[in-house]
Amino acid sequence: MRIPGRPREYERTCAECGYTWRVPRWAVHPPTKGLPFAGLGGIGMQAEIDAVVAANAQMAEGKDAFRVCSMCGSVHYKQRAARA
């Protein structure tokens, strides 16, 4: 379900060359998972913690592709919500 008023995409403009590209919302604000509460679980929780860390690292790699200007390779940009 789409939330009205919340942008689906963002537009980034390179500060170096002026090139503009669109970025999906998931790449701007990726949904990362928090570490599980150890509580009384003890040693058995390490496998779950490793799985969460690996999932967060994979999401970060996908996000990095949108972070760099494809024309000049700069990581300096301005960002604003894209209008449809």
Please state whether the predicted TM-score (pTM) of the whole model is above 0.85. no
Q: At 42, is the pLDDT very low, low, confident or very high (cuts 50, 70, 90)? A: low
Residues 6+ apart with CB under 8 A from 68: 74, 75
Q: Could you state, in order of their start, the residue ranges of all structural domains in the chain?
A: 9-81
Query: Per residue in 48-68, pLDDT tens?
Result: 778 888 887 777 776 677 888
What is residue 12's predicted lDDT score, i.e. its pLDDT?
A: 92
